[in-house]
Chain A
Amino acid sequence: MQKHRVLLVCSGHLFGESMETILRAEADVELIGPWGLGEEVCSRVTEASPSVVLIVDDDSQSEASASLTSAIMEDHPEIPIIRAGLTENVVRVVSTHLLPARGMDLIETIRNLPDAGNPSNERSDINNDTKR
């Protein structure tokens, strides 16, 4: 079974520990970390080689979360990032896709993007609905 390598970066508070509990319960998830938000995450990402980075902070839009997201996107655009926090009841999925620089591919991608006003994302593998 191929496992999803999930790098968990969190503040060390209860929410981060809760996410660790959820991830460890999944057989197809290989958890890397948790690493602290203040640690030098970007410099260690290459070695960790995650398939996704999950950033958990009480405030999902904190400066720490935003800075880390930007830095990872800059250095590792191929790695999707998921941000979760307590201040909102959604998780944010940030990913980068590379397209051939052709008009037809660009237009097709625009047409297939999910509705920005709808938090449910067909393309997201991880969402805020729980499996019971």
Chain B
Amino acid sequence: MEKVRVLLADDHALFREGLAGIIASQPDMEVVGEASDGLESLVKAQELKPDLILMDVQMPGMDGLEAIRQIKQALPETSVVMLTVRDDDEKLFEALKNGAQGYLLKEIRSQELLAMLRGAMQGEAALSASLAGRVLVEFRRLSRSRLKRDLTDDEEYMLTEREQQVLLQVSDGATDKEIADALTISLNTVKTHVRNILSKLHVSTRREAAKVAKNKGLV
């Protein structure tokens, strides 16, 4: 059985040594190298060409986020899973954007870690349920931002900011009353906005307006 070749990158030597022992005890894994900072991890990755890198985020010199970016450029087939104490949305999203296959917290237990790593080797995302939820929230936020930018830039539509807000609510299936409550405006004002939106989007119904919003990447 071919073992998964693992490179460990973490500046905490004691943690790294213990983790190496846990991984080495697995029949399907072997530790092929260790690194104590991002630059060393990049050098060793290019030298050893591991299947999987377990990378800490915070390391001296080059941190894990920059290291993974460079490693994925040089070795796109290598899977990199971040393993960190830092429960930080910004670092989570940046790691994933830089190509991380997963982002795990060090409070995880070894059995779950090993299961996640095996899943990562099969193409699964090594993310806890809570972190996966936050990724979904961020994805929706980015989608809404893109819609707003598209609708603002597109001369054909020329929706006002308030009309964009109303359209987003319509896309979520909100009634006029729910939109009025959410945006703290009157029901009549909502109806006016909806009429204007339908006109500008050249559609006849709320459903069609929502479809346009979806095609622009909102939902």
Bound-state CA distance A58–B109 (Å) is: 12
Q: Is A13 an interface residue (CB 8 A)?
A: yes
Q: Bits for B21-36, please: 1 = Cβ < 8 Å to A, else 0.
A: 1100100000000000
Bound-state CA distance A13–B113 (Å) is: 11
Q: Is B157 an interface residue (CB 8 A)?
A: no
Q: Which residues of A contact B18 (CB under 8 A)?
A: 15, 17-22
Q: Is B12 an interface residue (CB 8 A)?
A: yes
Q: Which residues of B contact A128 (CB under 8 A)?
A: 13-14
Q: Is A50 an interface residue (CB 8 A)?
A: no
Bound-state CA distance A84–B13 (Å) is: 12
Q: Is B110 an interface residue (CB 8 A)?
A: yes
Range class of the B interface residue count: 10 to 19
Q: Which residues of B contact A17 (CB under 8 A)?
A: 18, 22, 109-110
Q: Which residues of B contact A14 (CB under 8 A)?
A: 15, 19, 22, 106-110, 113
A53 to chain B, nearest CB (A): 17
Q: Is B163 an interface residue (CB 8 A)?
A: no
Q: Is A118 an interface residue (CB 8 A)?
A: no
Q: Which residues of B contact A12 (CB under 8 A)?
A: 109
Q: Which residues of A contact B19 (CB under 8 A)?
A: 14, 18
Bound-state CA distance A21–B56 (Å) is: 20
Q: Bits for B77-116, please: 1 = Cβ < 8 Å to A, else 0.
A: 0000000010000000000000000000011111001000
B84 to chain A, nearest CB (A): 9
A13 to chain B, nearest CB (A): 5
With A58-B85, A89-B11 in contact, do A18 and B17 touch (Cβ < 8 Å)?
yes
Bound-state CA distance A86–B13 (Å) is: 10
B132 to chain A, nearest CB (A): 19
Q: Which of B11, B25, B108 contacts A21 (CB 8 A)?
A: B25
With A13-B106, A58-B107 in contact, do A21 and B13 touch (Cβ < 8 Å)?
no
With A13-B107, A58-B85 in contact, do A86 and B12 touch (Cβ < 8 Å)?
yes
A29 to chain B, nearest CB (A): 13
Q: Which residues of A contact B106 (CB under 8 A)?
A: 13-15, 58, 86
Which B residue's beta carbon lies closest to that of A15? B15
B27 to chain A, nearest CB (A): 16
With A12-B109, A17-B110, A58-B107 in contact, do A89 and B13 touch (Cβ < 8 Å)?
yes
Q: Which residues of A contact B11 (CB under 8 A)?
A: 89
Give B contacts to A, CB under 8 Å. Answer: 11-15, 17-19, 21-22, 25, 85, 106-110, 113
Give A contacts to B, CB under 8 Å. Answer: 11-15, 17-22, 25, 58, 84, 86-87, 89, 91, 128-130
